[in-house]
């Protein structure tokens, strides 16, 4: 063996690592334990912290302008900075009274899984790169299919969220349609469909004219007769009806499109049936949710979001595609540098747009394994019951009009007063939203439904109790104008 030149830098040939990147074991332990202590304190005091604060860039100038660090800072100092300068003014999506948008309430079990993934850093793009985490991903995908009665032979992958899962589903639909897809294809979406569906279609190369806006009925569900009429009109015009993107739990109101009827129509017309179940999908693991979501398991492609109603940390979506071959044909990747991959095993780089990808599965696995399906089903039903409780309590205020939740979104707003314009009525809704935000007590959000500003209160958090709902509603009553 040729002799090596003498070391010039102990970090090249010697045993010393760069301590700023990998400190010694004692420091790792000390800082690691300190981090856990701070996280536990953060988790256990959540109800007492303000839910949200909307500072400006000027107020956060010291964060925005933080200078590039040329020299090391101690890890303890970085932790201190984060917990003192970032957390106190952060909107806390884990907070039991965060009722805005669609919450992403990570559990401690999910967070531990996320820490395991970051701490061990497995590569889950290929079997060779991380065979055991790929095996785990296959298993957890199967568990999800089992819970939702989705075909076990279907393909699937964990994505960064629901938006990317929608992209995967529509990409698979485009593959099945072949070359005519981009020239003549039409994708049917209701105005209540999530923006990521339209964004995905655009990214995939569909012109904006390829999106057909299917009207909704009075309950904000896709109107199946109108859908049928749009399809017939497009066929007559020489277009190719390619995919229907239905929603199982719309972001605005939680409406569930008539999934079984749309599945029938798609089967008859040979059209791809995509279901965006990013919000509502996991409700189907409970008996009540299953009843509401009949037809979900007939989708050709299905978007799910473990970082929503499966209590996992942010950054974890899931796409299931009934025909695994279509999924593979859509994303299969080649390259001389991939020649060593065992092609008879599952390489997730062939199932989605990413090559290097974190082992998102670990958080979902940790959560599902530690909680078990039954407990999760009970929790999801509990969230739905608490949403109904919120509706019942809000209704006690005669100044408010309240709609019952379909899943766990309560929509409500100020009742119109005699001689009041709709603009003024809507202003009271937005003022209430602003006032709740400023109170730090709870977070709501607004939307527009049937051209009317509406307040939304979402319940989706294992930390939310009946007492927390009472506290949120009491605050709303106090701030109602
Ligand atoms: C129905 C629906 N689809 C898709 C998405 C996008 O999911 P993500 O934010 O995980 O990308 C959302 C987000 O709230 C949603 O409610």
Place of tokens 């991903």: 137
Percent of the chain with pLDDT over 70: 97
- Residue 339 CA to ligand 1 center (angstroms) comes to 36
Q: Is 276 in the pocket of ligand 1 (CB under 6 A)?
A: yes
Q: For atom 14 of ligand 1, which residue has the closest CA?
A: 102
Pairing of strands 301-304, 272-276: parallel
Residues 152-168 as b/e (b if ≥16 CB within 10 A, e otherwise) read eebbbbbbbbbbbbbbb
The H or E element containing residue 200 is helix 195-203
Q: Region 1-26: what's the mean pLDDT? A: 71
Q: Region 444-451: what's the mean pLDDT? A: 96
> What local confidence, expressed as pLDDT, does residue 476 receive?
98
Contact present, 390 and 472 (Cβ < 8 Å): yes
Atom of ligand 1 nearest to the CA of 163: 11
- Residue 124 CA to ligand 1 center (angstroms) comes to 23
For residues 142 and 144, give the distance between their C-alpha atoms in angstroms, rounded to a whole number: 5
Q: Region 206-212: what's the mean pLDDT? A: 97
> What local confidence, expressed as pLDDT, does residue 54 receive?
82
Backbone angles phi, psi at 116, to 5 degrees: -60, -45
Dihedral class, residue 309 (left if φ above 0, else alpha if ψ from -120 to 50, else beta) = alpha
Percent of the chain with pLDDT over 90: 92
Contact present, 318 and 159 (Cβ < 8 Å): yes
Q: Is the pLDDT of residue 403 over 90?
A: yes
The H or E element containing residue 45 is none
Place of tokens 């970051």: 118
Pairing of strands 272-276, 240-247: parallel
- Residue 478 CA to ligand 1 center (angstroms) comes to 32
The H or E element containing residue 433 is helix 422-439
> What local confidence, expressed as pLDDT, does residue 13 receive?
54
Atom of ligand 1 nearest to the CA of 248: 1
Q: Region 355-373: what's the mean pLDDT? A: 98
Torsion angle of the four alpha carbons 384, 389, 395, 397, in this order, in degrees rounded to the nearest 10: -130
Contact present, 181 and 213 (Cβ < 8 Å): no
Q: Is 315 in the pocket of ligand 1 (CB under 6 A)?
A: no
Q: Could you tell me the end-to-end alpha-carbon distance of the chain, in angstroms, rounded to an integer? A: 84
Q: Is the pLDDT of residue 16 over 70?
A: no
- Residue 94 CA to ligand 1 center (angstroms) comes to 17
Q: Region 108-114: what's the mean pLDDT? A: 97
**Mean of the per-residue pLDDT values for the chain?**
95
For residues 225 and 223, give the distance between their C-alpha atoms in angstroms, rounded to a whole number: 6
Pairing of strands 317-321, 155-159: antiparallel
Q: Region 222-229: what's the mean pLDDT? A: 98
Query: Token pair for residue 268?
Result: 């008859």
pLDDT, tens digit, 9 for 90 and up, residues 303-359: 999 999 999 999 999 999 999 999 999 999 888 989 889 888 999 999 999 999 999
> What local confidence, expressed as pLDDT, does residue 55 receive?
86
How many Cβ atoms from other residues are within 10 Å of residue 292's Cβ? 19
Q: Is 161 in the pocket of ligand 1 (CB under 6 A)?
A: yes
- Could you give the angle at the alpha carbon of 469 between the alpha carbons of 464 and 474, nearest 5°? 150
Q: How confident is the model at residue 53 (pLDDT cuts 50, 70, 90)?
A: confident
Atom of ligand 1 nearest to the CA of 249: 1
Q: Region 223-242: what's the mean pLDDT? A: 98
Q: How confident is the model at residue 12 (pLDDT cuts 50, 70, 90)?
A: low
- Could you give the angle at the alpha carbon of 379 between the alpha carbons of 377 and 384, nearest 5°? 95
Helix (H, G, I), strand (E, B) or coil at 283: helix
> What local confidence, expressed as pLDDT, does residue 318 receive?
99
- Residue 196 CA to ligand 1 center (angstroms) comes to 7
Q: Is 223 in the pocket of ligand 1 (CB under 6 A)?
A: no
Q: For atom 2 of ligand 1, which residue has the closest CA?
A: 278
> What local confidence, expressed as pLDDT, does residue 7 receive?
60
Query: Token pair for residue 168?
Result: 């995967």
Q: Is 194 in the pocket of ligand 1 (CB under 6 A)?
A: yes
86: which DSSP letter?
Answer: I
DSSP string, 126-167: SHHHHHHHHHHHHHHHHHHHHHHT--TT-EEEEESSHHHHHH
Q: What pTM was estimated for this model as a whole?
A: 0.96
Q: Is 253 in the pocket of ligand 1 (CB under 6 A)?
A: no
Q: Region 6-18: what's the mean pLDDT? A: 59
Q: Is the pLDDT of residue 3 over 80?
A: no
Q: Region 21-40: what's the mean pLDDT? A: 96
- Residue 161 CA to ligand 1 center (angstroms) comes to 7
Query: Token pair for residue 352?
Result: 């989605």
pLDDT, tens digit, 9 for 90 and up, residues 278-308: 999 999 999 999 999 999 999 999 999 999 9
């Amino acid at each position: 063996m040729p002799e090596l030149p003498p070391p010039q830098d102990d970090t090249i040939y010697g045993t010393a690592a760069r301590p700023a990147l990998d400190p010694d074991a004692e420091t790792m332990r000390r800082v690691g334990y300190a981090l856990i202590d701070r996280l536990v304190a953060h988790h256990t005091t959540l109800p007492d912290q303000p839910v949200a604060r909307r500072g400006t860039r000027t107020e956060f100038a010291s964060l925005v302008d933080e200078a590039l660090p040329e020299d090391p800072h101690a890890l303890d100092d970085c932790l201190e900075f984060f917990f003192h300068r970032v957390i106190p003014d952060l909107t806390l999506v884990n907070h039991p009274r965060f009722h805005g948008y669609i919450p992403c309430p990570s559990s401690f079990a999910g967070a531990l899984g996320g820490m395991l993934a970051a701490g061990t850093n497995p590569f889950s793009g290929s079997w060779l790169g991380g065979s055991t985490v790929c095996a785990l991903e296959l298993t957890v995908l199967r568990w999800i299919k089992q819970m939702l009665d989705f075909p076990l032979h279907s393909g699937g992958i964990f994505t960064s969220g629901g938006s990317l899962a929608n992209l995967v589903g529509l990409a698979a639909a485009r593959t099945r349609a072949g070359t005519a897809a981009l020239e003549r294809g039409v994708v049917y979406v209701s105005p209540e469909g999530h923006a990521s569906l339209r964004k995905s279609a655009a990214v995939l190369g569909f012109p904006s004219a390829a999106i057909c806006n299917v009207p909704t009925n009075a309950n904000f569900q896709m109107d199946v007769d109108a859908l049928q009429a749009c399809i017939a009109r497009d066929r007559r015009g020489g277009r190719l009806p390619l995919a229907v993107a239905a929603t199982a739990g719309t972001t605005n109101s939680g409406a569930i499109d008539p999934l079984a009827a749309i599945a029938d129509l798609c089967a008859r017309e040979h059209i791809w049936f995509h279901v965006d179940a990013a919000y509502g999908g996991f409700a189907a693991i409970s008996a009540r949710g299953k009843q509401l979501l009949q037809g979900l398991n007939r989708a050709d492609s299905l978007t799910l979001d473990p970082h929503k109603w499966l209590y996992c940390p942010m950054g974890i979506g899931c796409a299931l595609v009934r025909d695994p071959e279509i999924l593979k044909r859509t994303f299969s990747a080649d390259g001389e540098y991939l020649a060593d991959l065992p092609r008879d095993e599952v390489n997730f780089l062939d199932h989605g747009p990413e090559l290097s990808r974190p082992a998102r599965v670990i958080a979902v696995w940790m959560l599902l394994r530690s909680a078990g399906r039954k407990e999760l089903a009970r929790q999801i039903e509990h969230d739905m019951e608490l949403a109904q409780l919120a509706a019942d309590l809000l209704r006690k205020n005669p100044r408010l009009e309240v709609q019952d939740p379909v899943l766990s979104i309560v929509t409500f707003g100020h009742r119109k007063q005699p001689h009041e314009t709709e603009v003024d009525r809507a202003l009271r809704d937005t003022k209430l939203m602003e006032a709740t935000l400023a109170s730090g007590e709870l977070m709501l959000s607004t939307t527009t439904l049937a051209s009317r500003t509406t307040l939304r209160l979402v319940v989706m958090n294992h930390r939310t109790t009946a007492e927390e709902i009472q506290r949120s509603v009491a605050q709303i009553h106090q701030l109602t104008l």
